[in-house]
Amino acid sequence: MRQNYKSKLYIGEFIVEVLKIGKDAGIVILSYLIGAVPFCYLIGKLVSGKKLTEIGDKNPGGWNLVFNVSRMWGILGMILDVAKGFLPYFLAYRFAEKGLISFLGTTNNSLVAMLAGAAAVAGHNYSPYLRFKGGKGVATWLGFLLAAHPFTIPCVAFGMVLGLFVAKNMIWAVTISIIFSSTFLWIYRDSIIYLIMMLILIAVMIPKQINYSKKLSTNFKFRKEATVKDLFTPKIR
């Protein structure tokens, strides 16, 4: 009788743990879907009737909205994109199961929050609502970092300065900024999981910075002739 009771208890505990894991997986999936909401595309369509995927550089993101529709609406769109990264990380950290697992020096809710933030960036860049097209993810990524730790923003700023004023190349600016901010979180939180996060973000964000009408090697060259203004101005590809 006692043996039977223990078996039922173990089964019950197993089911509870599976449900907890399912809850955390659901948080990450929901974060992807939240990140995928194309606010800038929707704003552009509502206020001007224009589709961002058909004008400017055809990127449904904030800069295209600023330059080709409206500066005011573009700023609003970018704020909403930042919120798409901030809220998933913040809510995941708050509501994910604590103490379920410890992985590579981080707690379960920190791991789920990190995955939720990265999922939001992936959703923005590869939105199912836009047939898996999307923006470049910088604003959503900044929201994610702001929720993770505010000091990551100066790390990003320093990386951007190096990339834009030394290499004069947005790909290098974003890459260096990802490395700096992820390294800060790794050192501050003492968890190698943030280096894995760095690789995930590079894989999700850098392909969106590449101009595929040019050779791949050309995209990564230092551009001595370019100005910083050129790097921030959307061009038709």
Burial class (CB in 10 A: 0-12, 13-18, 19+), 124: buried
Residue 164 counted as domain residue: yes
Contact yes or no for 27/100 (Cβ under 8 A): no
Cα 107 from Cα 211, distance rounded (Å): 38
Query: Per the structure, how many domains does the chain have?
Result: 1
Residue 16 counted as domain residue: yes
Residue 184 counted as domain residue: yes
99-136: per-residue pLDDT in tens?
A: 555 555 566 788 899 999 999 999 999 999 999 999 99
Q: Give the pLDDT confidence score for residue 108 in this predicted structure.
A: 74
Residue 234 counted as domain residue: no
Residue 108 counted as domain residue: yes
Contact yes or no for 117/31 (Cβ under 8 A): yes
Tokens of 162: 């190096």
Contact yes or no for 46/95 (Cβ under 8 A): no
Q: Give this prediction's pTM.
A: 0.87
Q: Find the domain containing 197 and state its range.
A: 2-229
Residue 68 counted as domain residue: yes
Residue 237 counted as domain residue: no
Q: Give the pLDDT confidence score for residue 19 in this predicted structure.
A: 73
Q: How many helices (H) and strands (E) does the chain have?
A: 11, 2
Amino acid at 92: A
Q: Tell me the mean pLDDT per 10 residues along the chain, length 237.
A: 58 70 89 97 95 91 93 96 97 78 64 94 97 95 96 95 89 95 92 91 94 78 69 56
Residues 6 or more apart whose Cβ sits within 8 Å of residue 36: 123, 124, 126, 127, 128, 129, 134
Residue 236 counted as domain residue: no
